[in-house]
Amino acid sequence: MNDLRRERLQHEGLLGEKEREAKSLRLRCEALRDSARSHLDPLEKIEELNIELTFQAVTDLWNAYLQLLELLGEIKNIKKALGKADS
């Protein structure tokens, strides 16, 4: 197997890994979003809301979102190196 083919296969493998990781992070973001929303019942009195749990969920969501954006940038770069259209 020539070096270019081996390198391409390595990049394809890395792309698959990064895409799986992005899917997992996206699901985590969705779960954290839903968790934050569940703590913000509009019918509940403000002083009865669990703001600490809401804050923790939103903080975790922010961190996961930043990781997802970074990962999506890596995926875009790998696809570009492989000559694949961004999808």
Is the per-residue pLDDT at 75 higher than 90? yes
pTM across the whole model: 0.84
Mind listing the pLDDT tens digit for each residue in 28-68? Answer: 999 999 999 999 999 999 999 999 999 999 999 999 999 99
Looking up tokens 């954290």, which residue turns up?
32
Q: How many helices (H) and strands (E) does the chain have?
A: 2, 0
Summarize the confidence of residues 9-19 as an average pLDDT: 94
What per-residue confidence (pLDDT) applies to 62?
Answer: 98
For the CA atoms of 74, 77, 83, 84, the dihedral, rounded to the nearest 10 degrees, stands at: 40
Residue 42 lies in a domain: no
In a domain, 43, yes or no: no
Tell me, yes or no, whether 18 lies in a domain.
yes
Residues 6+ apart with CB under 8 A from 8: 82
Q: State the chain's mean pLDDT as an integer.
A: 93
DSSP letter for 85, please. P
76 in a structural domain: yes
Structural domains counted in the chain: 1
Give the chain's end-to-end CA distance (angstroms, integer): 29
- Domain enclosing residue 62, as ranges: 3-35+48-82
pLDDT at residue 87, as a whole number:
55
